[in-house]
């Protein structure tokens, strides 16, 4: 059952990456920044979209290597820790940031639990 949840998280991660690649301006608005120029859209697609797509697909591509699921969790934990630090440094305690912090931390912890 836990392995299925992990693959669902990986799938959601890949879908998020695909969404960012297809709709970079929409994602930028959702996240609260601008992607007005071509260079900005390229960076959003490549860095954010590409990373999330690759991260989500890695456990599928490396199906026989359970460490891929753990790696996804480690990345999510680092994202959550970075977001937590940023919330305090930037004094940005908006509900969007807190919700994503909880989701990222939750996904990270689920992914590092041995199946």
- pLDDT tens column, 16-45: 999 999 999 888 888 878 778 888 889 899
Residue ranges making up the domain that contains 70 = 2-112
pLDDT for position 72: 95
In the chain, the number of structural domains is 1
- Sign for the CA dihedral angle at 25, 74, 105, 16 comes to positive
Q: Determine which helix (DSSP H) or strand (DSSP E) holds 37, and give its type and residue range.
A: none
CA atoms of 79 and 43, how far apart (whole Å): 18
Which tops the pLDDT comparison, 4 or 34? 4
CA atoms of 59 and 106, how far apart (whole Å): 18
Nearest in space to 105 (alpha carbons), one of 65, 62, 85, 75: 75
Query: Tell me: the pLDDT tens digits for 78-102?
Result: 999 999 999 999 998 888 889 999 9
Give this prediction's pTM: 0.88
pLDDT for position 100: 92
């Amino acid at each position: 059952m836990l392995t299925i949840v992990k693959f669902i998280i990986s799938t959601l991660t890949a879908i998020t990456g695909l969404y960012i690649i297809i709709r970079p301006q929409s994602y930028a608005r959702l996240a609260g920044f601008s992607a007005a120029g071509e260079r900005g859209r390229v960076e959003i697609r490549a860095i954010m979209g590409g990373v999330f797509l690759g991260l989500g697909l890695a456990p599928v591509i490396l199906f026989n290597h359970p460490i891929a699921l753990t790696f996804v969790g480690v990345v999510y934990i680092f994202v959550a820790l970075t977001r937590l630090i940023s919330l305090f440094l930037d004094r940005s305690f908006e509900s969007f940031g807190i919700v994503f912090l909880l989701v990222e931390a939750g996904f990270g912890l689920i992914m590092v639990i041995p199946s």
